[in-house]
Amino acid sequence: MQVLSIVGARPQFVKLAPVAEALTAGGHEHVIVHTGQHYDADMSDVFFADLRIPAPDVHLGIGSGSHGTQTGTMLAALDSVLADRRPDWVLVYGDTNSTLAGTLAAVKLHLPVAHLEAGLRSFNRAMPEEHNRVLTDHAADLLLAPTDVAVTNLAREGLAERTVRVGDVMTDVCFRVRDAVRDTAPELPAGFEPGGYVAATIHRAENTDDPKRLTAVVDALAGLPVPVLLLAHPRLVVRCREFGIALERPGSALHTASPLPYPGMVAAVLHSAGVVTDSGGLQKEAYLLGRPCSTLRTETEWLETLHDDWNVLVPEPADLADAVTRPVPSAPQGTPYGDGHAAGQVVDALVRGGPA
């Protein structure tokens, strides 16, 4: 079997790692196409190196642009790549513009498409990611769902026949890396103590693209009663510069640093008191690593994380301090994301060509 994976953004490299390993272990041919959506070394190359992902076979080098331009340019560039290779499966990941472009390029060429992390829904139609996922799920031939909630969402949209619950491949990577870094202290800024700080990331358009909202978010982080290690996504840095919002605030709780490689991020969360984020992946990683999470959004796709307040939604930045200082949940997290062996199930589903 030949599988062609299309990836482009940071969370997709994390999902690709265990899938690439399982495909190779199964003796399958695997072609990796990188769209170039994320191009900074610390958003891309470092993930391939640390997670031991083979270098991309094809790099499209598309880079940033408006949603339409970025998606359309990828679509055009993928045409000849897919037509040349004609894989048994085109595998797309998550909810980014690379996911949608890969799906459209494949279906136009009548190539079978499998969507990894199918069925996630925020039901927030203002999010570009929500459109990317819904359109991808309805176009794809095989829907690889991570959770029961995702399976239910797909069934409600009439897609049950194409759905297989495979579990969550990010859990595979998270557990493996957790075990490797557990005894390694994270590199922390001066004045930060293990267990005494919050790890934070912000990148979603809803939080970054409106100056009033972004000011409130950064002010709330800077005003927290615990030190905050903000690992700044390029979109956040660009918008703060555009709007004149300072990310360096001496004397405040806020310490801003560059994005971390994956093992460094896992270590930073593992040794933190908690997480503040608007990232989907990081909400789940906090949950898997047993750290309380406060999510600066009105909804989440990972409903399981909300149980027992392991994760709480904080729509208003002004409420962040109360959320961050809530008591640590006493109930164990449960295992809705599986035991870290989802990638093997992905490969089995691809080999079978559908549900068992």
Spot the catalytic one: 38, 115, 203, 271.
203
| DSSP assigned state of 36 | -
**256 neighbors 226 (Cβ within 8 angstroms):** no
Q: Which is nearer to ligand UD1, 76 or 318 (CB)?
A: 76
Q: Which is nearer to ligand UD1, 112 or 234 (CB)?
A: 234
**Which tokens sit at 225?**
């009663």
Binding site for ligand UD1 (CB under 6 A): 9-11, 37-40, 43, 64, 95-97, 128-129, 203, 233-235, 238
In sequence order, the β-bridge partners of residue 164 are: 144
Q: Which is nearer to ligand UD1, 43 or 155 (CB)?
A: 43
113 CB contacts (<8 Å, ≥6 apart)?
Answer: 89, 90, 91, 92, 102, 103, 106, 107, 139, 140, 141, 142
Beta-carbon neighbour count of residue 156 at 10 Å? 11
CA distance 279 to 264: 17
Q: Which is nearer to ligand UD1, 17 or 22 (CB)?
A: 17
Provide the minimum distance between the beta carbon of 281 and ligand UD1 in the complex, in angstroms, as a whole number.
Answer: 7
**Which tokens sit at 17?**
């790692």
Provide the minimum distance between the beta carbon of 29 and ligand UD1 in the complex, in angstroms, as a whole number.
Answer: 27
Provide the minimum distance between the beta carbon of 263 and ligand UD1 in the complex, in angstroms, as a whole number.
Answer: 17
Q: Which is nearer to ligand UD1, 36 or 186 (CB)?
A: 36
**Which tokens sit at 181?**
């870094």
**Which tokens sit at 33?**
């196409």
Q: Is 233 a catalytic residue?
A: no
CA distance 337 to 169: 9
Provide the minimum distance between the beta carbon of 131 and ligand UD1 in the complex, in angstroms, as a whole number.
Answer: 9
**354 neighbors 162 (Cβ within 8 angstroms):** yes
Provide the minimum distance between the beta carbon of 69 and ligand UD1 in the complex, in angstroms, as a whole number.
Answer: 10
CA distance 211 to 194: 33
Residues marked as catalytic: 203
